Structure 1
């Protein structure tokens, strides 16, 4: 089943973007992805598990976390420091 996983990744340059793209290109089940340097946002679509995507992107050494829901969304878990 296809799933969309959205991550916040601490990327500072095109080199960081390239590193994230490299690991996602090798990951099994990934159908497509979008890496937004300005927003520090990585969106992955495919037959993937969110935890596996998080672990894979974390291997780049970048600070990686699940994208928090928009502020004001009552269902979102509180962000912890």
Structure 2
């Protein structure tokens, strides 16, 4: 599916996942997202954004991020 991006994000607590949640909630162009603290994965649906743009948004949470 185009516009779906998956990242591994270094989250160790609910505060970490909350930070990612706050950033993605406010981001323009992000349609929906799913955050799994257990697997440290974040899936973002953003059909109008590139993977690099979404990566930069997720990075603003201040956690280590890598593309899956």
* TM-score, normalisation: structure 1: 0.76
**Alignment partners' CA distance in 1, 2:50 and 2:7:** 13
User: Where is the helix percentage greater, Structure 1 or Structure 2?
Assistant: 2
Structure 1 unaligned spans of 5+:
68-81
Q: Does 1:41 align with 2:32?
A: no
**Alignment partners' CA distance in 1, 2:14 and 2:54:** 20
Superposed displacement of residue 46, structure 1: 2.1
**Alignment partners' CA distance in 2, 1:43 and 1:57:** 10
Structure 2 unaligned spans of 5+:
none
User: Corresponding residue for 1:77?
Assistant: none
Superposed displacement of residue 57, structure 1: 1.0
Q: For residues 1-80 of structure 1, what are the structure 2 equivalents within 5 Å?
A: 3-47=3-47, 48-67=49-68
Larger Rg: 1
* TM-score, normalisation: structure 2: 0.90
Q: Which has the higher contact order (CA 8 A, sep 6+)?
A: 2
Cα RMSD (Å): 1.0
In the comparison of the two structures, how many residue pairs are matched?
66
